[in-house]
Amino acid sequence: MMARKICLLFMLITPSLLAQTPVQHIEFDGYDFYVKRDDLLHPEFSGNKARKFRYFLDHGFPDIQLLIGYGSAQANSLYSMAALAKLKGWQLHFYVDHLPQWLVQRPLGNYRAARLLGAEILAVANQLSGLSMEQYLAQQVLAGTTNTLFVPEGGRCRAAEYGVRLLAQEIQQWSEQQKVEGLKVFLPSGTGTTALYLAKYFHEINSDIEVLTCAVVGGDHYLLQQFAGLSDDRRCYPSVITPTKKYHFGKLYREFYQIWQQLNKTGITFELLYDPLGWLMLLNYKRQHPQRPIMYIHQGGLLGNESMLPRYARKYGVC
Ligand SMILES: *Cc1c(COP(=O)(O)O)cnc(C)c1O
């Protein structure tokens, strides 16, 4: 009954699926910002990963029955791939190293939501025997299959360009309609795929929009390597803002929690993995260039807060 209801809901949502997302004006720390609300793309299929997986949604894959991905059991991509699979009528097998026992016993966040959408999460650490996850999947899972679609970790793939261009076009149109000149678009990066394809589009159409980003996963060097893996044309790389301090991905920092709480006062909820460092860097930038108009891309990921918030509350208390 429950499953049928969910199915019906998806069918009802599908026609208007993934309309353009709104741009909201906020004041933060005394400055003006525009926020591109990509978190509002669709109730299940939203944010960064929905843009990157959009290609698979819009194109027919008549032979595909099984979607395969891998990453962390808490990853935003797990949930988005589960939503994609559901929309396409595919099964999702999502491979992880380890599945923490506490999570299996008390599922929450992306893991819980993906399970509810029918995803199967497979922990294979003890079968890797020295292989990387990519090698293991290539040799043990994907070899010889024909009805299977594989998406690399975090959606780092050329197929992502299709959906990110649609986002870029929305931003370009908006800036023309609003007559905003010299817009800076800021977004925090993981693999850098989104930032790079945005910048590539603006470069190609000779737009005056500049893409700014910062490395949240790895450092600047890692991020530039990721850009290079997707394009050799350095002219279309986003501008990278370097943090004044080294932060480790997924770790808790008091200043992250503080800025996240301050951001709540704008009326928009942000996520706790990428957005805090993103906003810290962006505020630094804005203080140095107060006149430049800035659009922050809200890339979704709010389900992750279900696991991050209890961790923060345990460490710094609830205020
Ligand atoms: C995946 C993700 C990112 C990073 O996107 P990249 O294209 O890998 O740089 C940023 N924010 C959120 C919320 C994400 O889910």
> Which tens digit of pLDDT belongs to each residue from 172-216?
999 999 999 999 999 999 999 999 999 999 999 999 999 999 999
CA 116, CA 118: separation in Å to the nearest integer? 5
Atom of ligand 1 nearest to the CA of 189: 9
Q: Do residues 35 and 23 make contact, with C-beta atoms less than 8 angstroms apart?
A: yes
Q: Distance, CA 154 to ligand 1 centroid (Å)?
A: 7
Ligand 1 centroid to Cα of residue 301, in Å, is 8
Protein residue with its CA nearest to atom 14 in ligand 1 = 48
Please tell me the predicted confidence (pLDDT) of residue 44. 86
Best of 194, 211, 225 for a ligand 1 pocket test (most atoms within 8 Å of beta carbon): 194
Ligand 1 geometric centre to CA of 55 (Å) = 17
Q: Which atom of ligand 1 is nearest to the CA of 187?
A: 10
Q: What is the pLDDT of residue 17?
A: 61
Alpha carbon of 128 to ligand 1 centroid (Å)? 27
Contact 261, 319 (CB under 8 A): yes
- CA–centroid distance, 259 to ligand 1, in Å, is 19
Which atom of ligand 1 lies nearest, measured to the CA of 193?
A: 7
Q: What is the pLDDT of residue 156?
A: 84
In the chain, alpha helices (H): 2-13, 47-58, 76-88, 101-105, 109-116, 133-136, 160-177, 193-204, 220-230, 254-264, 275-288, 305-316
Look at ligand 1, atom 13, and give the residue with the nearest C-alpha: 301
| 319 residues of the chain, pLDDT tens digit each | 444 444 444 444 444 467 799 999 999 999 999 999 999 999 889 999 999 999 999 999 999 999 999 999 999 999 999 999 999 999 999 999 999 999 999 999 999 999 999 999 999 999 999 999 999 999 999 998 999 999 998 888 889 999 999 999 999 999 999 999 999 999 999 999 999 999 999 999 999 999 999 999 999 999 999 999 999 999 999 999 999 899 999 999 999 999 999 999 999 999 999 999 999 999 999 999 999 999 999 999 999 999 999 999 999 987 5
Q: Which residues line ligand 1 (CB under 6 A)?
A: 47-49, 76, 154, 188-195, 271, 274, 299-301
Phi, psi of 61 (to 5 degrees): -135, 75
Report the C-alpha gap between 77 and 151 in whole angstroms. 10
Q: Which atom of ligand 1 is nearest to the CA of 191?
A: 8
pTM over cut 0.75 = yes
Which residue has the CA at smallest separation from atom 2 of ligand 1? 48
For residue 19, what pLDDT is reported?
78
Residue nearest to atom 12 of ligand 1 (CA): 299
